[in-house]
Structure 1
Amino acid sequence: MPSASAAYADARWDELQNQRDLAWDLDAITNRREAIAFLQRFENRLCIYSGYVEKLYSNYSFVVPQSDRGDITILPDEQAWHDTFNDIPVDAVEATGVHILPGETMGYAGLYLKIPSENRLVASREMPFQDGLRYLIQRYKARNEHFLPVLVKGDLREYEARMPSLHLHRINTARLGHCSQLSINAIKAAIADHLLCLFRQP
């Protein structure tokens, strides 16, 4: 029985590695090397969501092709079952319109957040990452919601056709009614732990 379950687990990980939801296309990015370096700053700093298997991964690595072509693949750590959250439906993961940008796009050092206004007639705000994160946490808290940012396929984009950026999605816990409070708390804690690492990153 153990060997059968091990074979099943191996088959599932093979299927996961071969499906395309965790492969990110870089061909649309002008400066591929810069995009890869930018993305790697967030490895295990932001959780990754796969709608294909409805899982949230908090322990993974980026596999970068050796050649100048090909996709970056996100490879979950197959030993870290406790860092994988199952049964997260696609409709619980929402686009936020928030982008993480290299400060160089505005002539500054460090990371910045481009945050859309709640009023569509008002321009977006660019804020240093730490300040922007605090602002977003407070904005969502005022709605009795949580700001739980995650990445999905396609979130690596170009900003003004010259610099890479990451668009953030978020987990909406109001749509996790089928999950236990224990599971929801574990998701919140995992995302918060990762954000703290990113928050402390120079």
Structure 2
Amino acid sequence: MPSTCAAHIDDHWRELQQQRELAWDLDAISDRSEALAFLRRFENCLCIYSAYAQKLYSSYSFVIPQTDHGDITILPDEQAWQATYNEIPPQAVEPAGVHILPGETLGYSGLYLKVPSENRLVASRELPFHKGLKLLIQRFQARGEAFLPVLIKEDLRGFEGRMPSLHLHRIVPARLGPRAQPDIGAMQEAIAEHLLGLFRRA
């Protein structure tokens, strides 16, 4: 990975760890329109992976049907071809066990992360978004890995029919095929920039 690219990624992670606050004033979400409004807050703030296409999209838009039924679809930005990463095999993407949810579902305000314990016998914890993300970044750095969270395109089907929460997956760079190797640095930087976008839009 070029040193300039690695430096940019390190800068993004450092800035993420220095963030102190994320205050989204969300109302309690109880119907489809509110669930979709919750989802729209993440548009272009998290990269989206398609197992079918084996692609990772970092620039896209949500297409939501006007009727009360129908799948949410992802429309990649065709003008930003460099924002799509190809040849990402399904085995390189795994569930992170982490959920993003509105604090109102827990009796709080703002955005929360449900973070699994490293000890399987200990229950998951619900933490304010910035604290949970900092914990995850530090946890993975201690293992010599990067935390590269993404949404799975297929998970968005029927999203509005469930309690609004988003299950995060993660890219595992060690499982990427040889064709993806030149793009790893750029992909890591794109994911880090998207996470920073969540904080900056707060």
TM bin, normalised by shorter chain, reads: 0.7 to 0.9
Taking only the aligned residue pairs, the percentage that are identical comes to 67
Matched, 1:100 2:100: yes
Q: Give the residue type in structure 2 aligned to 1:69.
A: H
**TM-aligned CA deviation for residue 180 of structure 1:** 5.8
Quick one: structure 1 residues 177 and 72, their matched pair in 2 at CA, closer, same or farther if it must change by over 3 Å? Answer: closer
Q: State the structure with more CA Rg.
A: 1
Counterpart for residue 10 of structure 1? none
Bigger proportion of residues as strand: 1
Give the 3-state SS of the residue equivalent to 1:167 in structure 2. Answer: strand
Counterpart for residue 149 of structure 2? 149
Counterpart for residue 59 of structure 1? 59
Q: Give the residue type in structure 1 aligned to 2:163.
A: M
Q: Give the residue type in structure 1 aligned to 2:155.
A: G
Counterpart for residue 47 of structure 1? 47
Structure 2: how far apart are the matches of 1:155 and 1:72? 6
Quick one: structure 1 residues 181 and 71, their matched pair in 2 at CA, closer, same or farther if it must change by over 3 Å? Answer: closer
Counterpart for residue 76 of structure 1? 76
Structure 1: how far apart are the matches of 2:157 and 2:102? 12
Q: Is the 8 A contact 1:157 1:167 kept in 2?
A: no
Query: If the length of structure 1 is used for normalisation, what is the TM-score?
Result: 0.80
**TM-aligned CA deviation for residue 52 of structure 1:** 0.7
Q: Is the 8 A contact 1:157 1:164 kept in 2?
A: no
Give the 3-state SS of the residue equivalent to 2:61 in structure 1. Answer: strand
Query: If the length of structure 2 is used for normalisation, what is the TM-score?
Result: 0.80
Counterpart for residue 5 of structure 1? none
**TM-aligned CA deviation for residue 109 of structure 1:** 1.2
Structure 1: how far apart are the matches of 2:35 and 2:77? 23
Structure 2: how far apart are the matches of 1:52 and 1:102? 29
Q: Give the residue type in structure 1 aligned to 2:170.
A: R
Structure 2: how far apart are the matches of 1:180 and 1:39? 29
Q: Give the residue type in structure 2 aligned to 1:154.
A: D
Q: Is the 8 A contact 1:48 1:151 kept in 2?
A: yes
Q: Which has the higher contact order (CA 8 A, sep 6+)?
A: 2
Q: Give the residue type in structure 1 aligned to 2:50.
A: S
Q: Is the 8 A contact 1:147 1:170 kept in 2?
A: yes
Total equivalences in the alignment: 172
Q: Give the residue type in structure 2 aligned to 1:103.
A: G
Counterpart for residue 176 of structure 1? 176
**TM-aligned CA deviation for residue 33 of structure 1:** 1.4
Q: Is the 8 A contact 1:155 1:167 kept in 2?
A: no
Unaligned 5+ residue runs, structure 2? 1-29
Q: Give the residue type in structure 2 aligned to 1:151.
A: L
CA RMSD of aligned residues (A): 2.0
Deviations 1:61-98 (A, max 9, x none): 00111111111111111111000000000000010110
Q: Is the 8 A contact 2:72 2:157 kept in 1?
A: no
Unaligned 5+ residue runs, structure 1? 1-29
Matching of residues 186-197 of structure 1 within 5 Å: 186-197=186-197
